[in-house]
């Protein structure tokens, strides 16, 4: 248990670290890393800060070196002057005791005291380029290569120059210093310092300052990231929300609560204003095109004239006695059908159907266009079909309640009012068929429409027309029955008839999908009796069929009774009834 707790803690800590790293270095979109603006700004200012500090430090170093050189020259001249005087004194002593070796020894001892660096030198070179003396804590001038120094001395002697500054090499070491001619000893005295040794303290200071600059810059960099993040926090907020909108294929409003009054907030407000306008246009766009077309247009940023053969389910709904309603209600019919469609279309959309077209009293819906749908298209259409019937029933209930309220308050309706009342008791029929159809956009690049074309589309319209004859709310084809049963639909499919509708050459079975939640024992028994009558009807035993049709009490039986009462089956009877009307 303890191990599991530790593991979960470490895992959570790792995720937090990864999230912080991702926030710091940015994330990838389609293989391209999106670097946070905070990192760019901080990085740029860090580079500029380092460049500025190092440049300032270097300029300071160069200027200080110039001052140091001047001071060093003054010190070297002073050292050289003191030694020059001391050499003259030693020459006087040498003239008295003629002990040159002792005088040179004394000069060397005095010269060594004037040296400050490990590689500092005091050299005496005769005019014939021979070495008079040399002293240094670490450098053996006698072994060192000094042709450059000898040449400088020869040139100075030839030019008659008695003193001045001098730069030369001893072996691989570069020196700079001063020289002065001592006439008594007929020699040039040279006091010099090794360049690298002289500049070493300044380089140490420069490096120390550089380390301090880097340390301060790093601290300021992290502090800058924090401060810039704080200043630009709404940039990340806006970016995250916009990317979420892109992923979800939607456009929304950025939450700018507690945002400061700066240009970034103004940018967010401008986006929200643009988003609101686009969202309004998208909502208007979605009202005139199907949901799948709108989704594809949002994803691909265009709508093309294209389509394909697809296996879809088609629902056709029509308002009964619409012509009579229009004559009675006039233009007020618009308000009534809008009340119906307001809820009916919602029932279609809830089951992932799309409204293909609305032509007055008729509505065409298509199911199965969404590839990510988890529910069977035929089951969706059946549920939507009964949903449309519930909407019509609810509207009729409201009208009935309104009538009762008026009658209770004012008395009976007038004849004209009674006609209006009957006209607003809206009833609909629903026909459902499915199969392979053409689905896509047709028209031109200037004006196009989304449509579904196929024999099954026309068939769904014919099936809706049969609801008036068989007096059932929904009629579907055998395709819908088989497709729904394969997907465990909660419907019992009662065969109604085999009909050949107008315009068709073959007869097809039609079915009444009965929801299982309304299929009680009484209805089940009556449907069994209807089924028995239908079998006798198909066999041509119309007398037996008429008896069972009369007993079953199913409204659809009335049409059969009117067909077969007192009649005999026609010759070559095959059980198919030809409809003469649409």
pLDDT digits (tens, 9 = 90+) for 198-256: 888 777 777 888 888 888 878 877 777 777 777 667 677 777 777 777 676 667 777 77
Q: How far is CA 275 from CA 228, 234, 248, 254, 258, in A?
A: 27, 17, 15, 9, 20
The contacts of residue 310 (CB under 8 Å, 6+ apart) are 368, 369, 436, 437, 438, 439
In order, the DSSP letters of 149-178 are HHHHHHHHHHHT--EEEEEEEETTEEEEEE
Kindly state whether residues 66 and 112 are assigned to the same domain.
yes
- SS3 per residue for 267-282: HHHHHHHHHHHHHHHH
**Residue 416 CB neighbour total at 10 angstroms:** 9
- SS3 per residue for 211-228: HHHHHHHHHHHHHHHHHH
> Is residue 565 a part of any domain in this protein?
yes
Q: What is the pLDDT of residues 372-392, one digit of tens each?
A: 778 999 999 999 999 999 999
Q: What is the pLDDT of residue 478?
A: 94
Identify the CA nearest to 398 among candidates 421, 377, 365: 421
Identify the CA nearest to 487 among candidates 342, 401, 383: 383
> Is residue 10 a part of any domain in this protein?
yes
pLDDT band at 448; cut points 50, 70, 90:
low
Kindly state whether residues 342 and 411 are assigned to the same domain.
yes
Q: In this structure, what token pair is assigned to residue 207?
A: 């490096």
Kindly state whether residues 550 and 430 are assigned to the same domain.
no
In order, the DSSP letters of 285-316 are HHHHS-HHHHHHHHHHSS--S-EEEEEEEEEE
Kindly state whether residues 139 and 14 are assigned to the same domain.
no
Among 186, 203, 220, identify where a domain stops.
Answer: 203
Identify the CA nearest to 577 among candidates 496, 512, 476: 496
Of the candidate ranges 134-143, 279-288, 344-353, 398-407, the one whose mean pLDDT is the lowest: 279-288
pLDDT band at 350; cut points 50, 70, 90:
very high
> Is residue 260 a part of any domain in this protein?
no
Residue 442's H or E segment, with its range, is: strand 428-443
Q: Calculate the average pLDDT of the chain.
A: 80
Q: Could you give the number of structural domains in the chain?
A: 4
Q: How far is CA 209 from CA 50, 60, 61, 202, in A?
A: 12, 11, 11, 10
> Is residue 562 a part of any domain in this protein?
yes
Q: What is the pLDDT of residue 3?
A: 46
Kindly state whether residues 478 and 500 are assigned to the same domain.
no
> Is residue 183 a part of any domain in this protein?
yes
Kindly state whether residues 542 and 475 are assigned to the same domain.
no
> Is residue 181 a part of any domain in this protein?
yes
Give strand pairing partners of 315. 365, 432
Among 203, 227, 257, identify where a domain stops.
Answer: 203
Give strand pairing partners of 28. 33
Kindly state whether residues 382 and 506 are assigned to the same domain.
no
pLDDT band at 1; cut points 50, 70, 90:
very low
Q: What is the pLDDT of residues 299-342, one digit of tens each?
A: 545 555 556 788 999 999 999 888 788 888 888 888 888 889 99
> Is residue 541 a part of any domain in this protein?
yes
With beta carbons less than 8 A apart as the criterion, state whether 291 and 450 touch.
no
The residue ranges of DSSP E strands in 302-377, in sequence order, are: 307-319, 354-359, 362-367
> Is residue 224 a part of any domain in this protein?
no
Q: What is the pLDDT of residues 486-499, one digit of tens each?
A: 998 899 999 999 99
Kindly state whether residues 483 and 560 are assigned to the same domain.
no
Kindly state whether residues 411 and 553 are assigned to the same domain.
no
Higher pLDDT among residues 9 and 58, named by residue: 58
Evaluate if residue 35 carries a pLDDT over 80. Answer: no
Identify the CA nearest to 468 among candidates 496, 503, 504: 496
Kindly state whether residues 16 and 142 are assigned to the same domain.
no
**Alpha helix (H) ranges present in 411-511?**
415-424, 455-470, 478-486
Kindly state whether residues 345 and 478 are assigned to the same domain.
yes
Q: Tell me which residue has tokens 């049963």.
A: 485
Kindly state whether residues 27 and 95 are assigned to the same domain.
no
Q: What is the pLDDT of residues 167-182, one digit of tens each?
A: 888 888 888 888 888 8
Q: Which range, 6-20, 37-51, 76-90, 549-563, has the best average confidence (pLDDT)?
A: 549-563
CATH at 340? 3.30.70.1230
Q: What is the pLDDT of residue 411?
A: 82
Whole-model pTM?
0.58
Of the candidate ranges 377-381, 416-420, 521-525, the one whose mean pLDDT is the lowest: 416-420
Q: What is the pLDDT of residue 226?
A: 73
Evaluate if residue 97 carries a pLDDT over 70. Answer: yes
Q: Which range, 213-217, 450-454, 502-506, 557-561, has the best average confidence (pLDDT)?
A: 557-561
Burial track 440-449 (b if 16+ CB lie within 10 A, e otherwise): bbeeeeeebe
CATH at 195? 3.30.450.20
With beta carbons less than 8 A apart as the criterion, state whether 483 and 452 touch.
no
Q: In this structure, what token pair is assigned to residue 146?
A: 């000094």
Among 176, 203, 230, identify where a domain stops.
Answer: 203
Q: 370 is in which domain, residue-wise? A: 308-449+470-488
**Residue 67 CB neighbour total at 10 angstroms:** 9
């Amino acid at each position: 248990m303890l191990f599991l707790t530790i593991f979960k803690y470490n895992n959570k800590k790792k995720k937090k670290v990864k999230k912080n790293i991702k926030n710091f270095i940015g994330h990838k979109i389609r293989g391209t890393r999106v670097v946070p603006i905070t990192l760019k700004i901080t990085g740029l200012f860090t580079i500029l800060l380092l460049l500025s500090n190092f440049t300032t430090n270097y300029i300071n170093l160069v200027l200080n070196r110039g001052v140091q050189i001047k001071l060093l020259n003054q010190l070297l001249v002073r050292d050289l002057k003191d030694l020059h005087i001391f050499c003259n004194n030693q020459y006087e002593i040498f003239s008295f005791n003629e002990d040159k070796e002792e005088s040179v020894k004394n000069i060397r001892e005095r010269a060594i005291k004037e040296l400050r660096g490990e590689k500092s030198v005091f050299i005496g070179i005769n005019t014939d380029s021979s070495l008079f003396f040399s002293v240094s804590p670490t450098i053996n001038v006698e072994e060192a290569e000094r042709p450059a120094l000898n040449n400088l001395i020869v040139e100075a002697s030839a030019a008659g120059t008695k003193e001045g500054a001098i730069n030369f090499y001893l072996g691989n070491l570069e020196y700079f210093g001063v020289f002065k001619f001592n006439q008594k000893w007929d020699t040039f005295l040279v006091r010099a310092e090794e360049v690298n040794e002289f500049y070493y303290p300044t380089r140490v200071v420069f490096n120390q300052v550089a380390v301090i600059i880097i340390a301060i810059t790093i601290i300021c960099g992290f502090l800058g990231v924090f401060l810039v993040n704080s200043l630009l926090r709404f940039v990340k907020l806006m970016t995250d929300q916009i990317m979420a909108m892109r992923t979800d294929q939607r456009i929304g409003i950025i939450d700018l609560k507690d945002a400061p009054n700066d240009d970034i907030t103004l940018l967010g407000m401008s986006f929200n204003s643009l988003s609101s306008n686009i969202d309004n246009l998208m909502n208007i766009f979605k009202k005139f095109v199907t949901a799948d077309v709108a989704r594809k247009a949002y994803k691909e940023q265009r709508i093309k004239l294209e389509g394909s053969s697809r296996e879809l389910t088609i629902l056709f709904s029509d308002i009964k006695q619409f012509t009579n309603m229009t004559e009675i209600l006039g233009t007020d019919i618009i308000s009534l059908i809008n009340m119906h469609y307001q809820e009916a279309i919602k029932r279609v959309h809830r089951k992932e159907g799309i409204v293909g077209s609305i032509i007055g009293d008729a509505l065409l819906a298509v199911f199965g266009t969404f590839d990510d749908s988890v529910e069977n298209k035929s089951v969706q259409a059946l549920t939507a079909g009964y949903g449309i019937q519930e909407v019509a029933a609810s509207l009729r209930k409201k009208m009935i309640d309104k009538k009762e309220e008026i009658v209770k308050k004012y008395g009976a309706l007038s004849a004209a009012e009674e006609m209006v009342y009957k006209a607003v008791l809206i009833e609909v029929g629903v026909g459902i068929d499915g199969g392979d159809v053409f689905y896509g956009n047709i028209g031109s690049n200037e004006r196009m429409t989304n449509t579904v074309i196929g024999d099954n589309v026309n068939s769904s319209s014919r099936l809706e027309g049969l609801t008036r004859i068989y007096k059932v709310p929904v009629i579907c084809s055998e395709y819908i029955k088989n497709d729904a049963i394969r997907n465990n639909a909660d419907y019992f499919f009662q065969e109604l008839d085999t009909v050949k509708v107008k315009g068709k050459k073959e007869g097809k079975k039609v079915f009444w999908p009965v929801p299982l939640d309304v299929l009680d024992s009484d209805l089940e028994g009556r449907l069994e009796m209807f089924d028995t009558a239908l079998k006798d009807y198909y066999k041509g035993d119309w007398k037996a069929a008429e008896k069972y049709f009369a007993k079953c009490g199913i409204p659809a039986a009335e049409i059969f009774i009117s067909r077969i009462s007192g009649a005999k089956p026609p010759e070559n009877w095959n059980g198919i009834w030809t409809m003469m009307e649409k």
